[in-house]
A = this chain, B = another copy of it.
Amino acid sequence: MASNSFGEILRITSFGESHGAAMGGVIDGFPPGVIIDPDFVQQCLDRRRPGQSKLVSQRREADKIEILSGVYDNKTTGSPIAFIVRNSDQRSADYEALSYVYRPSHADFTYHQKYGHADLRGGGRASARETLVRVAAGAFAMHLLKLFGIKVLAYTHQIGNIAAQENLSELTQAIVDVSPTRCPDPAAAAQMEEMLAELARHGDSVGGIVACAITGVPAGLGEPVYNKLSATLAAAMMGINAAKGFGVGEGFAAAARKGSEHNDAFVVENGRITTRTNHSGGIQGGISNGQPVTFQVAFKPPASIARQQTTVDKSGKEVQLSVTGRHDPCVVPRAVPVVEAMAALVIADFYLRNLIYTPFRKTVEI
């Protein structure tokens, strides 16, 4: 059934296969009258693009966005914003040899089982190339967040077993982008680069963790029960290719905590009620409390590795496989802008939802 949309009030619908004519999306529900900077949208795409550093896939795609509708004279009209990115570098030949082989931990087998067919050119919809649609849509959403005073910043927290020491309050995108690893801790970043170079030599890959902080989120975003802000963020992040885990605030570390340690006491600061600590990651009862919303996303190692692997083809015959396409040794550096984009889409959607309550909140005496 229809399942390529994300969001309620602000909704992105995605289309395109990595080796087809184009990738693209339709953003429906974007409010009218918002000034759009097309260069900013392109810059966001450039941050995700392959070929930008030695650490990522050398596939060369210009990834130039064309906006087809919904923006007139650089201002949104309230109509759906459609955009496409043509696929220019479609080396289907790389994939032909694979056509009948189930690559380990790839989606070839599951797609085959689900759809009864296999358009294996680059993985079809399973290709991480689809994430450019998210990044473009997120770039539009960021225009809204800017109006609302909200900022999203993600970065590489861990690659393999190397974890960064970061100081959240001083982070900027410029600092994050200093290293091609997108790790803001220079010492850790250096180790990560070395590890990735070593892995490349051995035809192997590795996992990692992206952390993200959203600042300026007003209290009240998120819906109780099933559509908690944390639940929707989780769905958004776990929908990203290769994501295997999600945690909000302290995440899995909270499992080992006592209530007396983990509880965030309310205090008054600068005349506003806030919390002394932020173990909750800015969300309580599924609703934002005004503190930074913080979360982490764990990614598995890329399944495509040059090292030889034993697997089977669709007839069940055992085959030896070495995946020779141009693939990233670790998805995390390029996942950083994808995480930011999905976070922006979630927050913008919940912010717009919350506008419905504004007149009711105001007229009520407590």
Contacts and interface: CB of A to CB of B under 8 A. Distances in A.
Contact of A3 (B77, B123, B224): B224
B207 A257 contact: yes
Interface in A220-253: 220, 222-228, 230-239, 241, 243-252
Interface stretch (A55-63, A175-183, A185-193, A278-286): A278-286
A270 to B, nearest CB: 11
Given A8-B2, A104-B266, A254 B77 contact: no
A173 to B, nearest CB: 22
Q: How many copies does the complex hold?
A: 4
A125 B224 contact: yes
B316 A256 contact: no
A106 interface: yes
Q: How large is the interface on A (under 10, 10 to 19, 20 to 34, 35 or more residues)?
A: 35 or more
A236 B251 CA distance: 16
A149 to B, nearest CB: 13
A228 B238 contact: yes
A77 to B, nearest CB: 5
Contacts of A218: 113
Interface of A (DSSP majority class): mixed
Contacts of A201: none
A333 interface: no
A36 interface: no
A366 B75 CA distance: 12
A17 interface: yes
A130 B244 CA distance: 28
A38 B80 CA distance: 26
A314 B366 contact: yes
B115 A361 contact: yes
Contact of A107 (B206, B287, B356, B366): B287
A110 B251 contact: no
A280 B243 CA distance: 10
B263 A309 contact: yes
Interface in A1-21: 1-11, 13-17, 20-21
A171 interface: no
A169 B29 CA distance: 37
Contact of A354 (B114, B268, B271): B114
B360 A312 contact: no
B244 A248 contact: yes
B356 A115 contact: no
Interface string A141-179: 000000000000000001011000000000000000000
Given A78-B115, A305-B263, A110 B285 contact: yes
A102 interface: yes
Query: Which A-B residue pairs are the 10 nearest by beta carbons?
Result: A107-B285, A33-B364, A3-B223, A205-B259, A116-B361, A2-B29, A110-B287, A2-B11, A245-B247, A113-B219
Given A2-B28, A105-B280, 13 more contacts: A15-B81, A102-B266, A104-B264, A104-B266, A110-B220, A113-B219, A115-B357, A116-B364, A117-B366, A130-B225, A206-B259, A245-B251, A254-B298
27 contacts: A1-B29, A4-B80, A14-B226, A16-B80, A20-B72, A24-B69, A33-B363, A34-B360, A77-B115, A78-B117, A79-B125, A104-B266, A105-B263, A106-B285, A109-B289, A114-B354, A115-B357, A205-B259, A207-B262, A234-B235, A234-B238, A247-B298, A259-B302, A262-B301, A268-B316, A280-B300, A355-B358
